Structure formats: C-alpha cells, structure tokens
C-alpha cells in the first residue's frame, strides 16, 4: 500500500504540472468562493452579535399619568417590580426628568419663557430578563391600568432580526450557488487531466487496475487543489478580519465585534475543510465519468 | 484453459462480428487466429479479457465464465491475461522501465517486487539496454518487445497478441514470433491474431480461421491457407 500511495501522489503531481493553467484557475476560483463563504459567515455572526447585545441593553420605559404623586408612583414601582420577567425597575421622578431635560436642551430652547409647568410624567425604566420577553412585559405593564404609555424599541429589534435573517438566507443561497460553480470548475479542470491521461487509464484498466486504484490520483489532485484554495482563503479571511475588526473597534468603539477565537478558528477550519471536500468531490465526479465510458 | 461455447457477438450497430463460435484452447497451447480484416479476430480476443461481452454463449477462462463476472472482478481476470497490440499502446511520457513497471504498480504490488519482476520481464524480451529510453526513441521491434514485457510482467497464464507484427518488417516480425514462442514454452497459453501468412506457414502451429464471424477451420500444424 505504501508504494501505491507514493504512486498516487506522484501521478497527481504529474497532472498538476501538466495542466498548470487550469489548475491555477481552479485554485483561484475555490479561493474566491470560500472567501465569500467565510466572509458571509463572519458577517452573519457579527450581525447576530450586534442584535443580541443591543437587545440585552434595551429597556422598556413606562410613563405614568402627569398628575400622579410621588407616593402613588412608589406604589406602582412595587407592582412593576413584581411582574414576571422584570429584573429591575428604576424610577425617574417627573421633577428629575424635567431637570435633566432642561440641562440637556435648555440652551437651545427658551424653556423658562414658553413652558411654565413641568410637562413630563414620572418614568420607570424596566430591565427585562430576555429580549423576547419585551412585548410580553409591555403588555403586562399596560394591563396594570395605572400606566399611561409603554415604550420599547421592539420595532428596531424586529427590523434588525429580519435584516440578519435576510443576510443569512441571501448568504446561504449565494454559498450554494458558488459551491456549484466551484465544483463545476474543479470537475472541468480534472476532466482535462482525465482526458490527457485517457491512454494511461486505458492501460491501467487493461493490466488489471481496479476502478478505485484508477480514481485515487485524480481524487488526490482534487484534494490538493481544494487544500491550497482553502488554505489561501483561510489566510485572506483571517488577515482581513483581524485588520477590519481592529479598525472598527477604533472607529466605532460601541460596536460589539465578534472575537471568540474558538468560533473564529472553527470558521477558518470549515473554510479549509470545505475546499478539501469540494476538490475531492470534483476529482471523484470527473474520473467516475471517464471510468463509465471506459470498460 | 480457454473455452468458447456457442459464442455470438452482435455489436449495437447491428454487425454480427461473431456467429456461434465454439472453440477450446488447452493450457500451454500456441494458436494462430487467422482471417481477413473484419473476420472477427479482435472481437474474439476482446471477449476473453472482457473488453466486450458476448451477445450469447459462454466464455470460460480457467473454468470461470467471464461473462458473469461483475465489474469489480474484471481487474483480477485481466491480471491473468496479458495483451499485446499492433500499435503497442505504450505511454509516451514514460520510459520503457516505467511502462513495464506501471502494469505492476497499478495492481498495488510492493516496490521491491515491481523492480525485480520488471527487470526480469525486460531481460526476457531482450530490452535491458533500453530500459531508460522513451518509446519514441525505440524501433518498432523494440516497442513491441516493450509491449510484450508489459503484458507478461505479471506472469499471466494467458498471452493474447492482436496483430503483433502488423507494423513490423519481416525480419523483426520473425524475431517477435520467436519471442512469443519462447514465452509459450514458459507455460503460457498464447493466442496470436494475425494475417501474416509467411509467419503462420513457417511456425506450423494450430490454426483457427474465422470468416465473416464464423469459425471455418481448426487445424493442427496448420498453414495460413488450406
Ligand atoms: N466496437 C465495435 N462496434 C461496432 N462494430 C464493430 C466494433 N468492433 C468491430 N466491429 C465490427 O465487427 C466486425 C469484426 O471486427 P474485428 O473483430 O475487429 O475483426 P478483425 O479483427 O478480424 O479485423 C467488423 O465488421 C467490424 O466493423
Ligand atoms: Mg483486428
């Protein structure tokens, strides 16, 4: 078996050199496809991360009617804190809110002259245990009957979620399409080798080589193409992700960037494995057709 | 060793290449398969190494009906049958040694065995001086010797030669036939399809004649024509 393995590898390298141009094209194609594949994975991962972080930071805000006393508000705070799904309730009195409002915007608007009465209600900021509970808690709060208005950024989160799933679906279809295109190119590359080696195959079969034996050099050729393409793409992805991530972290420090090394390593590994699998499948397909014609 | 029982072969295009042939070839026999072009000689040989399947009949090789072999078994049949061609079918980018060793390599033989057997075969055909030459550096006779070396390197019990002298001059043809005779005397069944009259007449071996796919003559110590 050892001498056979040597034979397979030497044969694979022979054809590798013989169709150097097509081989290069196939490697570049695999590299491009896998880079797009990996880039989409990274994008989806990061979008998901952003949505997750934003939702976990978002609170629900409940406003009372304007003419409620502090004591009444305190009673409401106790009831809110007891609602299922609510983690924490923070109270901002109408006086505090007005003060803050005037501090923030007082310079721009001439509030003292136009507005005499404090127009703001008391407000409660509720932290909810998980983002999915936001609408549920919002309803519970509304059902209490003592709250005038409930606000949360549900729409924004929903929009982000559908953006993520759109990217996911689009990316997935693109990856499937790209895989097919890549496979086609690999198959055709190795088909050239198969054609160039028709006499070899004929002689191999004549002197009693099994189909499996005839296939190995072509499968190895495919694996080599896939491995090189996958490796190159992995390198491109790793280097560009690191540099983009570093730049984003500087420019938009509040943006949560995905940096879990384990998951990133898995993605890079998936890229290399994907390339290898594509190459192997390509080799298998192209030589199987040749073997069917020959007998 | 070889037995054809009521064998017919119709190609898909409707041509009846062989018509109800029955023929027995004993172990260690040397026979000539003669007949004009298109008589069915090549087709008959192809049935033996399962390059074609008959439309009817049995093709027994070493008591196995090769018609019934499945695709996975065919390689093992072929390791027991050497085949020699008029156009040699040598691989042009490989040396003589590599061409011969190739036939062993693809059966997964260990390296030491490959070297030893390849050199033995090349010695037998008298090509030791040319082991590192490429096919296009060889004369026609040398190419045929290389082709024969490749066919026998596995020590097959059967050697089939399809017009082995078709591309050779008379002297070289005679040398090649001497070589085939030598191989036959080393316990190998040899079947030579040819329409080289002088060689058949000179060798005085069993002659089987085909005509339009029918077996029309089977004669011991025969000549090309009756
Ligand atoms: N693969 C094939 N397909 C169709 N017809 C064939 C094929 N091979 C041979 N024939 C036909 O079968 C007949 C016998 O051919 P062949 O066995 O090659 O004869 P020979 O070797 O005696 O010249 C011829 O008429 C030939 O045209
Ligand atoms: Mg013929």
- Residue, of A131 and B72, whose pLDDT is higher: B72
Q: How many angstroms separate the CA of residue B152 from the nearest CA in chain A?
A: 10
Distance B219 CA to ligand 1 centre (A): 24
Distance A131 CA to ligand 2 centre (A): 81
Q: Token pair 């390791």 is at which residue?
A: B79
B222 in contact with ligand 1, CB cutoff 6 A = no
B99 in contact with ligand 1, CB cutoff 6 A = no
Reply yes or no on whether the pLDDT at A2 is more than 60: no
- Do residues A282 and A276 lie in contact, with contact meaning Cβ atoms separated by under 8 Å? no
Contact B109/A7, CB-based, under 8 Å?
Answer: no
- Tell me, yes or no, if B105 comes closer than 8 A to chain A by beta carbon: yes
Mean pLDDT of the B54-76 span: 95
Give the ligand whose atoms come closest to the C-alpha of residue B51: 1
Termini Cα distance of chain A: 24
* Domains of chain A, first to last: 2-54+157-294 (no CATH), 65-147 (3.30.70.3040)
If you count them, how many residues does chain B have? Answer: 226
CA pair distance A192, A18, nearest whole angstrom: 10
Alpha carbon dihedral A96, A97, A98, A103, in 10-degree steps, equals: 90
Classify B62 as helix, strand or coil: coil
R_g over Cα of chain A: 32
**β partners of residue B82:** B159
Token readout for B39 is: 């008589």
Contact A208/B77, CB-based, under 8 Å?
Answer: yes
The pLDDT value given to residue B53: 95
The pLDDT value given to residue B171: 94
Mean pLDDT of the B177-190 span: 96
Phi, psi of A97 (to 5 degrees): -60, -45
Within a 10 A sphere around the Cβ of A82, how many other Cβ atoms? Answer: 9
- Band (pLDDT 50/70/90 cuts) for residue B30 is very high
Choice from B43, B85, B87 to test ligand 1 binding pocket (greatest atom count within 8 A of CB)? B43
CA pair distance A142, A144, nearest whole angstrom: 5
**Containing H/E element for B17?**
strand B16-25
* Domains of chain B, first to last: 1-80+156-226 (3.40.50.300), 92-154 (no CATH)
**β partners of residue B189:** B158
Instruction: Tell the burial category of A18 from Cβ atoms under 10 Å away from its Cβ (0-12, 13-18, 19+).
Output: middle
Q: Nearest 5 degrees, angle CA A223-CA A229-CA A234?
A: 120
Contact B79/A207, CB-based, under 8 Å?
Answer: yes
- Band (pLDDT 50/70/90 cuts) for residue A110 is low
Closest CA to A278 of A41, A42, A43, A27: A27
Token readout for A85 is: 């799904």
Q: State the closest ligand 1 atom to the C-alpha of B35, by its place in the atom list counted from 1.
A: 22
Token readout for B134 is: 């490429």
Segment B89-148, tens digit of pLDDT: 999 989 999 999 999 988 888 888 999 999 999 999 999 999 999 999 999 999 999 999
Reply yes or no on whether the pLDDT at A30 is more than 90: no
Phi, psi of A136 (to 5 degrees): -65, -50
Instruction: Tell the burial category of A260 from Cβ atoms under 10 Å away from its Cβ (0-12, 13-18, 19+).
Output: exposed
Token readout for B205 is: 């071996």
Segment A31-59, tens digit of pLDDT: 988 898 888 888 888 887 877 776 666 67
Segment B202-212, tens digit of pLDDT: 999 999 999 99
Within a 10 A sphere around the Cβ of A21, how many other Cβ atoms? Answer: 9
- ipTM score for this prediction: 0.87
Closest CA to B192 of B60, B84, B49: B84
Token readout for A186 is: 């690999």
Sheet arrangement for strand A86-92: A86-92, A123-128, A60-64, A147-151
- Residue, of B97 and A176, whose pLDDT is higher: B97
């Amino acid at each position: 078996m050892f001498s056979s393995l040597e034979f397979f590898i030497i044969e694979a390298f022979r054809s590798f050199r013989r169709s150097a141009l097509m081989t290069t094209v196939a490697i570049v194609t695999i590299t491009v496809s896998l880079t797009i594949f990996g880039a989409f994975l990274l994008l989806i991962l990061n979008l998901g991360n952003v949505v997750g972080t934003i939702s976990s930071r978002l609170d629900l805000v409940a406003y009372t009617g304007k003419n409620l006393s502090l004591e009444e508000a305190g009673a409401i705070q106790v009831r809110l804190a007891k609602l299922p799904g609510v983690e924490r309730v923070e109270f901002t009195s109408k006086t505090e809110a007005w003060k803050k409002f005037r501090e923030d915007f007082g310079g721009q608007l001439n509030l003292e002259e136009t507005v005499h009465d404090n127009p703001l209600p008391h407000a409660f900021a509720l932290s909810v245990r998980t983002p999915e509970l936001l609408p549920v808690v919002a309803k519970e709060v509304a059902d209490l009957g003592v709250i005038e208005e409930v606000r949360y950024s549900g729409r924004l989160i929903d929009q982000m979620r559908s953006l993520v799933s759109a990217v996911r679906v689009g990316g997935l279809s693109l990856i499937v399409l790209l895989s097919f295109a890549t496979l086609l190119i690999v198959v055709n590359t190795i088909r050239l080798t198969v054609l160039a080696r028709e006499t070899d195959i004929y002689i191999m079969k004549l002197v009693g080589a099994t189909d499996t034996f005839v296939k190995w050099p072509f499968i190895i050729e495919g694996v080599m193409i896939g491995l090189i393409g996958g490796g190159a793409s992995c390198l491109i992805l790793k280097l560009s992700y690191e540099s983009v991530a570093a730049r984003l972290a500087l420019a938009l420090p509040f943006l949560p960037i995905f940096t879990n090394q384990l998951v990133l390593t898995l993605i890079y590994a998936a890229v290399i494995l994907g390339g290898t699998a594509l190459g192997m499948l390509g080799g298998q397909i192209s030589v199987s057709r040749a073997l069917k014609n020959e007998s | 060793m070889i037995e054809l029982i009521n064998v017919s072969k119709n190609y898909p295009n409707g041509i009846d290449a062989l018509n109800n042939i029955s023929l027995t070839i004993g172990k260690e026999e040397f026979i000539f398969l003669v007949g004009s072009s298109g008589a069915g000689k090549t087709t008959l040989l192809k049935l033996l190494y399962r390059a074609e399947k008959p439309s009817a009949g049995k093709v027994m090789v070493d008591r196995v009906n090769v018609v019934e072999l499945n695709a996975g078994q065919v390689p093992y049949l072929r390791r027991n049958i050497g085949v020699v061609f008029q156009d040699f079918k040598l691989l042009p980018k490989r040396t003589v040694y590599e061409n011969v060793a190739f036939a062993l390599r693809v059966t997964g033989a260990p390296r030491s065995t490959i070297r030893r057997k390849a050199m033995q075969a090349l010695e037998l055909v008298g090509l030791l001086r040319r082991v590192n030459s490429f096919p296009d550096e060889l004369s026609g006779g040398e190419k045929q010797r290389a082709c024969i070396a490749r066919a026998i390197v596995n020590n097959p019990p059967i050697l089939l030669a399809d017009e082995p002298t078709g591309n050779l001059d008379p002297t070289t043809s005679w040398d090649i036939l001497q070589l085939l005779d030598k191989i036959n005397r080393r316990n190998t069944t040899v079947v030579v399809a040819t329409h080289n009259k002088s060689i058949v007449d000179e060798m005085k071996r069993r002659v089987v004649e085909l005509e339009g796919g029918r077996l029309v003559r089977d004669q011991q110590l025969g000549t090309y024509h009756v």
